[in-house]
Amino acid sequence: MRILVTGGAGFVGAHLVDRLLRQGHHVLCLDNFYTGSPENLRTWWDHPDLECITHDITEPFVADVDQIYHLACPASPVHYQADPIKTIKTGFMGTLNMLDLAQKLGIKVLISSTSEVYGDPEVHPQPEAYWGHVNPIGIRACYDESKRLGETIAFEYYRQYGTAIRVARIFNTYGPLMAINDGRVVSNFIVQALKGEALTIYGKGTQTRSFCYVDDLVSGLILLMAGDQPGPINLGNPGEFTIQELAELVLELTASTAGIDYQPLPKDDPRQRCPDITQAQEVLGWQPKILLKEGLTRTIPDFQRRLG
Ligand code: NAD
Ligand code: UDP
């Protein structure tokens, strides 16, 4: 198949492109390289089945393809808060453009939504039926609300035009190829530990997250696309850790003695986050296989290599 992957040069996108190429597909990678890099696709640079196109998805795009994985959007708070209006345009107009293309071509389109649609959740763990608890005017809203709007547009295309949407609610994912300056917690901690710097915990470190290894996520995305359900479906690892526990694990695995530097907690930072993956298990037959310790052990050498 000819498969369009928006955001294909980003962290998750590059792993997905890699898997699709290995499966023998022809991939069009669409990216404006805001947080992504061609470096992430280096292994495939000379391969005839990969086409890389520099394009901003807030502008319409037309190509003859059989499927679309729509991943383009900065995912780290540091990057999506740097230009909030642009983030909103990407979440709204970018998603609209991709749904429009899928509708015209009559093909499946997978929308990468997020656990952020649940905001600072009052239901724990979070099932898909939970509507969420988002501050619509807070500093995370440019991302959270545009992702929520992305889901709304997707479901209106589904109801109004019968577009074959697949909506994935992705929970915190980590692994090799996360940008050194990504700013999310796993990459920050690994980079700091490898540089012998203290790990920056925001707040007291009692907030929780559930970390999914990227290979598991990619398997979930491909199963969701292959199935016949629009979703939304939670894709994440239900293993829940405090940020303090994560810091201690990274210190242990890197044999770092640099310790921890406690800094102020950013506003609206969700206190807890854990996916209910019953639907993914029942509908897709999917569940993550890689435990956090194993995933970090696979990730750290990649950062070591890139940091030289
Ligand atoms: P990332 O920042 O590494 O990758 C995003 C990619 O999109 C980059 O290559 C970037 O250059 C590109 N991009 C951004 N804006 C664009 C635009 N306007 N036009 C074209 N390209 C653009 O992020 P990621 O972690 O790979 O996330 C991929 C997708 O998955 C995002 O939609 C994100 O919201 C979603 N997601 C990720 C996580 C996670 O933990 N990684 C969690 C929830 C949801
Ligand atoms: N965090 C932290 N130190 C860092 C980066 C993040 O303590 O250097 C915290 C952050 O405040 C949040 C959690 O780790 O509570 C996860 O942050 P991340 O940006 O990775 O993802 P998100 O908040 O979007 O889930």
User: Is the CB–ligand 1 distance for residue 114 below 6 Å?
Assistant: yes
User: How buried is residue 147: exposed, middle or buried, by Cβ count under 10 Å (0-12/13-18/19+)?
Assistant: buried
Contacts with 226 (C-beta within 8 Å, 6 or more apart), sequence order? none
User: Is the CB–ligand 1 distance for residue 71 below 6 Å?
Assistant: yes
pLDDT in tens, 48-77: 999 999 999 999 999 999 999 999 999 999
**Exposure string for 81-111, b = 16+ CB within 10 A, e = fewer:** beeeebbbbbbbbbbbbbbbbbbebebbbbb
**Whole-number average pLDDT of the chain:** 98
Task: State the pLDDT at residue 267.
Answer: 96
The SS3 of residue 268 is coil
Task: State the pLDDT at residue 61.
Answer: 97
Half-sphere exposure of 61 (CA within 13 A, CB side): 28
User: Is the CB–ligand 2 distance for residue 202 below 6 Å?
Assistant: yes
Name the residue among 254, 143, 146 with its Cα closest to residue 197.
254
> Which ligand has an atom closest to residue 78 CA?
2
**Structure confidence at residue 286 as a pLDDT band (50, 70, 90):** very high
Q: In angstroms, rounded to a whole number, what is the distance separating the alpha carbons of residues 51 and 159?
A: 32
How far apart are the CA of 308 and the centre of ligand 1, in A? 25
Strand partners, 199: 260
How far apart are the CA of 184 and the centre of ligand 2, in A? 6
Q: How many CB atoms lie within 10 A of CB 267?
A: 9
In order, the DSSP letters of 199-229 are: EEEETTS--EEE-EEHHHHHHHHHHHHHSS-
How far apart are the CA of 22 and the centre of ligand 1, in A? 21
Query: Once rounded to an integer, what is the mean pLDDT over residues 32-50?
Result: 97
**Exposure string for 168-197, b = 16+ CB within 10 A, e = fewer:** bbbbbbbbbbbbeebbbbbbbbbbbbbeee
Catalytic machinery residues? 143
Q: In angstroms, rounded to a whole number, what is the distance separating the alpha carbons of residues 126 and 74?
A: 23
Name the residue among 165, 278, 275 with its Cα closest to residue 227.
165
User: Is the CB–ligand 1 distance for residue 67 below 6 Å?
Assistant: no
User: Is the CB–ligand 2 distance for residue 201 below 6 Å?
Assistant: yes
pLDDT in tens, 115-171: 999 999 999 999 999 999 999 999 999 999 999 999 999 999 999 999 999 999 999
Could you tell me where the beta strands, DSSP code E, fall in the chain?
Answer: 2-6, 26-31, 50-54, 67-70, 108-114, 165-170, 173-174, 199-202, 208-210, 212-213, 233-235, 240-242, 260-263
Q: In angstroms, rounded to a whole number, what is the distance separating the alpha carbons of residues 304 and 246?
A: 18
Q: What is the value of pTM for the model shown? A: 0.98
Of 34, 101, 185, the residue with max ligand 1 atoms within 8 A of its CB, to mutate for a pocket test, comes to 34
Atom index in ligand 1 nearest the CA of residue 40 equals 9
pLDDT in tens, 205-261: 999 999 999 999 999 999 999 999 999 999 999 999 999 999 999 999 999 999 999
**Structure confidence at residue 13 as a pLDDT band (50, 70, 90):** very high
Strand partners, 31: 54
Atom index in ligand 1 nearest the CA of residue 173 equals 40
Q: In angstroms, rounded to a whole number, what is the distance separating the alpha carbons of residues 308 and 300?
A: 12
Task: State the pLDDT at residue 210.
Answer: 98
How far apart are the CA of 59 and the centre of ligand 2, in A? 31
User: Is the CB–ligand 1 distance for residue 73 below 6 Å?
Assistant: yes
Contacts with 59 (C-beta within 8 Å, 6 or more apart), sequence order? 97
Task: State the pLDDT at residue 260.
Answer: 98
Strand partners, 3: 27, 67
Task: State the pLDDT at residue 305.
Answer: 96
How far apart are the CA of 131 and the centre of ligand 1, in A? 23
Query: Once rounded to an integer, what is the mean pLDDT over residues 264-272?
Result: 96
Task: State the pLDDT at residue 141.
Answer: 98
> Which ligand has an atom closest to residue 86 CA?
1
User: Is the CB–ligand 2 distance for residue 262 below 6 Å?
Assistant: no
Q: In angstroms, rounded to a whole number, what is the distance separating the alpha carbons of residues 51 and 46?
A: 10
How far apart are the CA of 89 and the centre of ligand 2, in A? 24
User: Is the CB–ligand 1 distance for residue 186 below 6 Å?
Assistant: no
